Structure formats: structure tokens, C-alpha cells
Amino acid sequence: MVLLAAAICTKSGKALVSRQFVEMTRSRIEGLLAAFPKLMNTGKQHTFVETESVRYVYQPLEKLYMLLITTKTSNILEDLETLRLFSRVIPEYCRAMEESEILDHSFELIFAFDEIVALGYRESVNLAQIRTFTEMDSHEEKVYQAVRESQEKEAKQKMQQRARELAKQRQEAMRSGKRGYGSGSGGGGGGGYGSSSSSGMSSMSSSMSIVTPEKPMESSKPIKSSATGKAMKLGKSTKSTDIFVDKLRLEGEEVTSNVSKSRQSSNVAKTVTPASKTEGIHLRVEEKMTVSTGRDGGLQALDVHGMITLRITDQKYGKIKIGIVNNDDKGAQLQTHPNVDKKLFASQSCIGMKNPDRPFPVNNDVGVLKWRFQSTDETLIPLLINCWPSPNNEGGCDVNIEYELLQEHMELQDVVINIPLPSGVGAPKVSEADGNYKHDSRHNMLEWSLQLIDASNKTGSMEFAIAGQPDDFFPITVNFISRKSFCDLQVEDVLSVESDQPVKFSSDVALLVDKYEVV
């Protein structure tokens, strides 16, 4: 087929969204769209209407029409199949078939239309693939959002701590102020004492007003002011600490909600390790994993990239060597940094500079060892997902999905299994589930979450029923984090090159998911 254009228009012929797939002048497409309602006045019920040059294929959508304009030589059966796919895409982004809703989501609809048709020809895609392509999931954005949330949490804790310090300072200042001026302030006729008290309190208030703007956090007992106080009033809470905490929480959520709330609903923030106390020498063991398995079994791809990153914050610790324990039995390919002594690593599993007199860089993240592992051996999958959608007698499917931890030495935390659902069919009826689940009606997704999967909790299942076809429940995506590396490489110790004595260091391990799906 050759598809000239796709449009959503009103019954009066007003085009709300129009996308051309071949080169056409604006006047020509406007003329074709304007002619469509005139051709509909025949009183006959068809799904298409033809002119001398083009064919209109349409489907009513309440008060609107989903309209395709094709050449007369195109296959009408393919036209109708493409029209159905276009019509199914619209409810993915619009809750109601109304003009305002269509206009609000016009760009999302155009992006989805481009995934269906390219240069006038239908692409071989289904609804689930269109949803995946248009979401444009980005690991870098996930990491950015997670780091941002971690920074906000750390800032909030510091502000709370500062608030407690300020509250303590003010209480001490108030007590000292009462001891110095309390008797004078109580006398109505003592002019000398009264002015002294007033001056002292004014001086104390002035000193406190200098401190407060530097840190916007207030104490749990707000100080009354002679001003109206309306400019900084937030909510109805009488505790300034709670007010500012609520303000931070409010700003943190709303800043990111319009862009990535759907990604956050998939627990994207779990992809980085939380901030931890670090020493002058800090080593981070990080792996990123990509897994793709088939819905009928079998491993299509398993790819793991790992790296040990060194950061030294004190120059006196520059001349060191790092002991590595390699318990890998899978056959990962290891590679050291060009400035690292390869012979020392091969003979003693130690990472040190080629020139022992040359220190490691300071205040910089340096990758000293990296590795890669690839396999199609199904027994090496960390978490095996089996999904069994079976048609039932009610025109829908009974879906059984289960997980199994195959690598029992690993501990998977904050696991989220995302199962696509058909659009416009309502919430699934979950009859059994280990862990927690949530129905995301906006994105037609069932989120199955488990806090921890380890050797003591290595299997689990969920069962639900919903209208749809078996293909509607794929691809399934998985996200988790592990504090144990897949290839089992560990930092054993850090020694000084000059004295050969142990040096205090800190380390953390994180296995992150780049992409994990069942297709």
C-alpha cells in the first residue's frame, strides 16, 4: 500500500492532527481533508470512499474520525488493517475522544504514527512495540533522576540537621535573654529597665535574622514576628520544619512528574546505589547487564560490562596497589588500564602503576580494571521469567507468570517486573501474587514488585485474568539492583607501595540493569 496521509478530524472536516508520509503541498492535503466530509453525505455505510485520484479509509471514533488517505492502487485489506492499528494507538495517549484531549497529545500521536508508517509504507510493528519505541527509555536519564533524588534526600537531611541546630541555638539565646532582662520587661512603669529589655531583645532578634537567611530551614518552634507572615506561609502546619520538608518533597515530585513519572513508577530510581561514607581511597565495583530471553524459553543475549573505579581524595594515598579476588568461573575477559602493571596483575592479582614511583591521579575517577562477559547459556540467566497467557472462555486470557533465581549467590533488590496490558480493557483481576503489584492504567502496565529475591526466596508467581490476546503481554521488562557482582570480582585490600602496609579504604558494589526483557 502507499499511504499518503493519516489524520484525526471532526465530523465537520476540521483536522485536529494530520501527518503526511509522502511529499505533498499544504494546499493539496488541505483540499483532500476538506473534501472528505462532502463525500460522506451519501447516506451509505462504508469504511471507505473513493475519488478519481485517492481513497479515503476511515473509522468513526465517537465524535471524530480516524482517516487514512491512500492511493487507489493500494490493497484495501492492508488499508483496513493499518486503520485498525491507528485506531488502537489513539487510546494509548488520549483518555477521551475529544478535541481538547487530541490536541493536548498531538505530538505523542504524531510520533506513534511515524512508527506505524515510513515513507508511505506500513512497518511491521504491533502496539506493544510502538509503545516501547515512543517511550525512548534511557538508562542515562534513569541514572540522572536517581542521582538527583539521592542528592535531594541528602540535602533534606542536612537541612533538618541544620534546623535542629538553629532551634537549639535559639532556645539557648531565649533562655540567656530571659535571665538578662526578664525582671525589667515585667515592670510597666520602669522606663529604664523597659528600654533596656526592649533594646536587648531587639539586638537578639537582629542577630538571629542574620543567621536565618543563610539556611532557609526553620526550627520546629517558629519565632513570632511583627510582620504579617503571609509571604512564606505554606499549608496549615504550625511547624516550620514540616513546612520546609513538605515544600522540598513537593518541589522534588512536581519537577520530575511531567517528564518521567511513568519511568519513576517503574522504580527507575533503584538503578544506583545510595550515597555511602567513603574514605580517602574509595573503590567502586560496578556492572551493567543486558539480557534478552524468548517468551518460549531460551537465552537470546546476555551481556555484562564491569569496571572497578578508583577515586583518591588525599594525595598521600597516591602510591598504592590494590588486591583483587577473582572468583569468576564463567570466563569473563579482563583488561587492565594501560598504565597498570599487567605482569603484577597476572602474577599477584594486584593493580599497581607500571612505574611504582608514579602515584594514581587524585580527585578523579579512574577505571583501573574492566571486564566483559557474553553468553547464550540459559543456565547463566540471573532471573528466569516464564509467562503463560492462555485464552479462556470469556474472550480474554488467564495469565500465569513466575520467576526463578538461577544464580543463587546473587541477591536481587527492588525487583520490578513490568507486564504490558491491552488498552481499553480495564484493570486485571489478580487472583494470586507474591509481593506487591500495581496497575498503571495510564500506560497499560501491570507492575509486579518484590523487595528482595535471594536463595531463601528464589521463586514466586502471579496469576491474573484480563481481556486480550497472548501477544498483548509482551515484551516483559525487568529492573533490579544487586550488591553482589555477577562475575564475582572483589576488592580484597589496599597496600602502600612504600611500606607494604594495609591502607584504610572504602568500597561498594552494584550490579545495574541496562536492559532486561522477555520478548
Residue given cell 503571609 in the structure block: 230
- pLDDT tens across 45-67, in order? 668 888 888 888 888 887 888 88
Domain ranges of the chain: 3-135, 149-178+205-223+230-264, 276-519
3-state secondary structure string across 84-115? HHHHHHHHHHCCCCCHHHHHHCHHHHHHHHHH
Give the three cell numbers for residue 322.
Answer: 590494590
pLDDT higher than 60, residue 219: no
Question: Is the pLDDT confidence value at 211 over 50?
Answer: no
Round to whole Å and give the CA distance between 65 and 14. Answer: 10
Instruction: Decide whether 3-135 matches 276-519 in CATH topology.
Output: no
Contacts for 384 with CB less than 8 Å, ≥ 6 apart: 293, 378, 403, 404, 405, 406
- Is residue 43 very low, low, confident or very high in pLDDT (cuts 50, 70, 90)? low
Supply the pLDDT for residue 462: 94
For 394-440, write each residue's pLDDT tens digit: 778 999 999 999 988 889 999 999 999 988 788 899 998 899 999 98
Residue whose C-alpha cell reads 557482582 in the numeric block: 485
pLDDT of 228 reads: 44
Which pLDDT does position 292 carry in this prediction? 93
Cα 379 → chain centroid: 29
Cβ 327 vs Cβ 489: under 8 Å: yes
Closest of 415, 394, 392 to residue 403, by C-alpha = 415
Where does residue 195 rank: exposed (0-12), middle (13-18), buried (19+ CB within 10 A)? exposed
User: What pLDDT digit, counting tens, does each position of 249-298 carry?
Assistant: 554 444 444 434 444 444 443 444 444 567 889 999 999 999 999 988 88
Closest CA to 318 of 300, 298, 302, 339: 339
- Residue 480 per-residue DSSP state: E
CATH architecture of the domain with residue range 276-519: Sandwich (2.60)
User: pTM score, two decimals?
Assistant: 0.49
With left for phi above 0 and alpha for psi between -120 and 50, is residue 108 left, alpha or beta? alpha
The string of pLDDT tens digits covering residues 343-356 is 899 898 999 998 88
Q: What is the CATH number of domain 3-135?
A: 3.30.450.60
3-state SS, 275-296, equals CCCCCCEEEEEEEEEEEEECCC
Phi and psi at residue 517, to the nearest 5°: -145, 155
Distance CA 342, CA 347 (A): 9
Mean pLDDT of all residues belonging to the chain: 78
pLDDT given at position 242: 56
Summarize the chain as % helix, strand, coil (round to 5).
35, 35, 30
Q: What is the pLDDT of residues 76-107, one digit of tens each?
A: 888 888 888 888 888 888 877 888 888 888 88
